[in-house]
Structure 1
Amino acid sequence: MMVVRIVLIVLGLVVLGGAAFAAFAWRSEIEPISGETAEFGADLLERGAQLAAVGNCIACHTVPGEKAFAGGLPLPTPFGTIYSTNITPDPETGIGRWSEEAFRRAMREGVDREGRHLYPAFPYDHFTRVTDEDNRALYAYLMTREPVRAEPRQNDLVFPLGFRPLLAGWKFLFLDKGPHQPVAEQSAEWNRGAYLAEGLGHCGACHTPRNALGAADSSRHFGGGEAEGWIAYAINESSPAPIPWNEDSLAFYLRNGWHELHGVSRGPMAEVTGNLGGLPDSDIEAIAIYVASIMGEPSDQRRAEADRLLEEVRSDAAKSGDVVQAVDSVVQPQGSDIHGEGAAIYAAACATCHESDRPLPFGGLDFRLSTAVNAASPQNIVNVTLFGLPPADGEASSVMPGFAGALDDRQVGELLAYMRARFSGREAWDGVEEMVRATRSGDYPVTIRPSDGIERAPTNVGAEY
């Protein structure tokens, strides 16, 4: 009898606990609207378009080559694949029956119109900071896009993460709800930049490391992360850029997608800088002011090293832009026989652009200035070497051929080992050939273990990068 009583008590506690959690996780449905097209003013729509650009909404909610905002893009995560949703105003498969209240709740709380919890691949942990006025403008913009009937694809997540009520627990632990709070001690420009970068811009979604449960690690804010198979570099005081960023260089880069001392944007960041082109200069400058403040002033030592590097690069450029002379100057690093082939490949495939007198954005960056060559992980330079840089649609842009078809895994590995030794002076990368093989084939996950100790599992890299 005692055993039976214990079992009944345990079952009762389980039932009570389950009921309590269900009550905690439950969210009500918000009544659908008629689906008729609402009237919005031109100014509101223009503002909404700018905000959608800041949020880079089209990148995640559009499959390349398909209708804009119709969803269906696979977003690989350590927990499985999530497919983005249709955010066109289609009444059946999109958000056509969502009221502004329902839209605002999704942005602030990560709950859809029907009361289902949304996965934080939709970065509502950042969007919660957006003001009611900006939510209204963004809602107006999306509700006036072309309606597209596109049934959502089923997510493919590890058990039991397909059970959405569990997300209520994640939010309890990690979602800090509430609009952005200005900092009185900072300037209006700084506060504007903080609002854009931390809110709709959700810079930290890529540039901040994540914990085991997929939440941003606030103790390492902007300390570097991973996105779609690319390393999002640290944009705080630990930035690996050989030349420190400042307000002017950040603003130029965000506006144009390149900077003469830092190179061109690529991968997901190319989409970001492309979308930011529609913002007013004041917003671009505000973001630059805020991010530069997070990076802080470089130390005297780092500033001196950067000055020496710049003097060296500019002195070499002044002596000659002759590609033949540049190629003849390629030498094998002292004490190494492994880079002989890497040096030859570099001379044949890279030096023509990267050691010419053609400036960015149409020439190649001097690799001594390259963050990718100086970074702890070679993932980004692997991606670019294999898949190149595609031209932008309808405008002049940087372009680079991919070498996936011309070089095998070993050859790419030797090329990158040579570049690391010649241009960075840093310790050699480990496992480059393995990373090249995995990146080329999509045989993931591969865990990168850079010197900062953060483990990152890159996701598949499409050839469009």
Structure 2
Amino acid sequence: MIGLGTLAAGGIAALAWALQPAIAPIKTTTHNAQLVSQGQRIVALGDCMVCHSSATGLPYAGGLPLRTPFGTIYSTNITPDPETGIGAWSLEAFRRAVRHGISRDGHLLYPAFPYIHYTRMTDQDIEAAYAYLMSRTPVRYTPPTNELLLPLRFRPSLAFWNLLYLHPGEEPAAAVATDSDRQIARGRYLVDSLGHCASCHTELNPIGGESKTLLGGGSVDGWEAPALTTLVGAKVPWTAKQLENYLRTGLSAEHGAAKGPMRAVTERLSEVPREDVQAIASYIMSVQLPHPAPLQPAIPSQLHTTEGATLFAAACASCHSASAPMSTTGKRPSLALSHSVVGDNPANLIQTMLGGAPWVTQSAVYMPPFADVLTDEQIVSIAQYVRVDIGKRPPWPELSSKVAQARKEIHP
């Protein structure tokens, strides 16, 4: 049992964490061009623009709704506007936010901002990120008010969460003996700190803390974030080179295309030096777990796929059939290799069919949305056809309710 002394000490520590002073505002700040350039690389590796830009707003101005089990949190404005952004923040205030999750005025930040990972950043990288963000054009914009459960609107309560999950300070560099070790160590740093990959690819417990099964798979905004430790157990085992290409381009000819939240991540990684992405891929491939026996093919069942085959031929085959130009000359991967099709969770296939994959200049991947074209029943029929006849896997159970729920929550 936890003693009264331990509880009292924890309460005092939480109180001290919750009662933080404001840091005085600054008027102006200047930085040399080299530091700003380095900061652009750091901010891209940290995916800052991904979360701090809404679909209709300007980059870094905030307003993106981050849906959590506790309500919706809107990302903040991190442009150097002095009133609605971070223009009045000193480097000291910025570093405190990154390392301790505390805003300039002293209030505690919600852990949707992944400070439990950013705290491991080096001082040099924090200063570079600060320099780049402060060099941006100020945008005067105040994001919507958070829509959270009543108890969580009381920010000092976050101090108890921080006692459990925040371990402030950068990690000391590990000793390395070879170039390969050095690359893996660099990749670990990028994955654990800047990339904060565990924020999505790790299951969260009931109070929003990451489980001990790091990178073992999670979910974000209705999408599955698959385990990163079982890539060698895929239908076609991943290699470091394939993973590098996927992370840099959003497409792997052997596995599929990045969609949903991951697509935005690959867009940012396309902007950083290749050696950074190589390091990330090397580290992830170094933490692979022994994989289970290969999936056994399922016997296609016409009970599930007759209508689906007809609908697939009408709506999907022009791009996704084996003889389609996109497959033969575009070298797009077969649906039979996609984790969205052969995995246990149908979430990503449902989300892709409903919302499509929007066209962006950084990627040649595009798929139109079908939410307004196909009914839930038709989505189910096509998905089961793709799953059984193309993926050679058993039908997904309870697919109808999962499609209906996805449409209700994400594509109303």
Name the structure 2 match of 1:455: none
Name the structure 1 match of 2:160: 169
| Alignment partner of 1:201 out of 190, 195, 199 | 195
Change (3 A) 1:249 1:461: farther
Root mean square deviation of aligned Cα: 2.7
The range that moved more, 145-154 or 247-256, is 145-154
Answering whether residue 79 of structure 2 is matched by residue 88 of structure 1, we say yes
Name the structure 1 match of 2:4: none
Q: How far apart in 2 are the matches of 1:18 and 1:181?
A: 29
Q: How far apart in 2 are the matches of 1:364 and 1:54?
A: 27
How much has 1:346 moved relative to structure 2? 1.6
How much has 1:159 moved relative to structure 2? 2.1
Change (3 A) 1:384 1:39: same
Answering whether residue 242 of structure 2 is matched by residue 249 of structure 1, we say yes
Name the structure 1 match of 2:316: 350
Which is higher, the Rg of structure 1 or of structure 2?
A: 1
SS across alignment from 2:150: coil
Whether contact under 8 Å (1:240, 1:374) holds in the other structure is no
Deviations 1:122-145 (A, max 9, x none): 000110010000001000000011
Q: Which amino acid aligns with 1:42?
A: A
Answering whether residue 367 of structure 2 is matched by residue 373 of structure 1, we say no
The range that moved more, 396-405 or 268-277, is 396-405
Q: Which amino acid aligns with 2:190?
A: L
Q: How far apart in 1 are the matches of 2:34 and 2:329?
A: 34
Change (3 A) 1:180 1:19: closer
Name the structure 2 match of 1:319: none
How much has 1:428 moved relative to structure 2? 2.0
Name the structure 2 match of 1:402: 369
SS across alignment from 2:126: helix
Show the 5 A alignment for 1:262-281.
262-281=255-274
Q: Which amino acid aligns with 1:381?
A: L
Deviations 1:92-135 (A, max 9, x none): 11111111011011000100111111000000011001000000
Change (3 A) 1:240 1:20: closer
Show the 5 A alignment for 1:72-83.
72-83=63-74
| Alignment partner of 1:225 out of 218, 224, 227 | 218
Name the structure 1 match of 2:399: 432
TM-score normalized by structure 2?
0.90
Change (3 A) 1:369 1:238: closer
Whether contact under 8 Å (1:259, 1:360) holds in the other structure is no
Aligned length: 401
Deviations 1:149-196 (A, max 9, x none): 112432111121111111110010111222133333571101110111
Alignment gaps of 5+ in structure 2:
1-7
| Amino-acid identity (%) | 41
Q: How far apart in 1 are the matches of 2:40 and 2:151?
A: 37
Q: How far apart in 2 are the matches of 1:25 and 1:395?
A: 42
Change (3 A) 1:100 1:432: same
Whether contact under 8 Å (2:52, 2:77) holds in the other structure is yes
Deviations 1:357-406 (A, max 9, x none): 534895653121111011111110011112211111x3551111222222
SS across alignment from 2:194: coil
Name the structure 2 match of 1:104: 95
Q: How far apart in 2 are the matches of 1:257 and 1:117?
A: 35
Whether contact under 8 Å (2:354, 2:411) holds in the other structure is no
Deviations 1:193-239 (A, max 9, x none): 01111111111111111111101112x11111111221111110277
